[in-house]
Amino acid sequence: MKFLRYEMTTAKAPLLLGVKAEVVFGTLLVARNRAVRLACVLALALGALSSVREAERLPGAHQPLAAFLIVGTLAAVAGSRLFAPGAALASSRRVVTIWWAVPVGRLAGALLVILPVAAVAVIAMELADPNPILLGLSMATLAAAVASLSLSLAPTVGSSTACAMTLATIWAGAIPTTAVQALSEGSPAVRFAVLLLWHTLPLPWRANRLLELHAPLDALVLLTWIAVGVLTIGWAASQPSLLHRKSREPA
């Protein structure tokens, strides 16, 4: 009788239950992945290294940019796993729920894993910034924006390529502005392209500026990237052809 009772149930899940399932799924996808775990271990090692060398340097020698680089790196790796071609992407379509529930839920799940790790590493580093709440908010916003960039690339280019592209973006974002200007002094077209990317991508310098100046534009750019990620996945999940890409990457 139990069989008959449940097998004919057609009730749709309430949205909250579906989002919760996605949060848990996102957490598991990220926490069980070797690449993400390795990145977390390296971030913690960096924090530990900084803390044991504390005596050799003045407190506050590390700038917040270091924290943004750490959280950006973790977000790039974690985000690439959330909609990797294969089961992660296929399941986003098969569960059939409202289009934004899957990306938002999985993104939140990924942040639940990487933010505590980044926070521990950053606390160990004793940054110069005195306001931990603002620093935490800026880190969370950057992490969500970077993970969104990474997850939105993954369905079309594959998770490894998406991760590599996002990592390159994050690390390029640590280049000083003067160096960027010097690099782009050649042709006007190169200069235009470099400046466009420099000002539109979710780079660590923007999170750093958000922390220092509290400029709404910086928050807006980062939030726009989160929206882009959610919209892209909403679209990708409606494209059946993308589901047939076979994952060639180990779990």
Q: Report the interface residues with other proteins, using CB under 8 A.
A: 2-4, 6-14, 17-18, 20-21, 24-25, 28-29, 32-33, 86-88, 90-91, 93-97, 240-241, 243-244, 247, 251
Least distance to other proteins from the beta carbon of 223, Å?
27
3-class SS string, the chain = CHHHHHHCCCCCCCHHHHHHHHHHHHHHHHHCCHHHHHHHHHHHHHHHHHHHCHHHCCCCCCCHHHHHHHHHHHHHHHHHHHCCCCHHHHHHHHCCCCCCHHHHHHHHHHHHHHHHHHHHHHHHHCCCCCCHHHHHHHHHHHHHHHHHHHHHHHHHHCHHHHHHHHHHHHHHCCCCHHHHHHHCCCCHHHHHHHHHHHHHCCCHHHHHHHHHHCCHHHHHHHHHHHHHHHHHHHHHCCCHHHHCCCCCCCC
For other proteins, give the closer residue by CB, 129 or 249. 249
Least distance to other proteins from the beta carbon of 145, Å?
25
For other proteins, give the closer residue by CB, 90 or 127. 90
For other proteins, give the closer residue by CB, 20 or 209. 20
For other proteins, give the closer residue by CB, 87 or 183. 87
Least distance to other proteins from the beta carbon of 112, Å?
15
For other proteins, give the closer residue by CB, 39 or 203. 39
Least distance to other proteins from the beta carbon of 123, Å?
29
Amino acid identity of residue 238, one-letter, is S
Least distance to other proteins from the beta carbon of 54, Å?
37
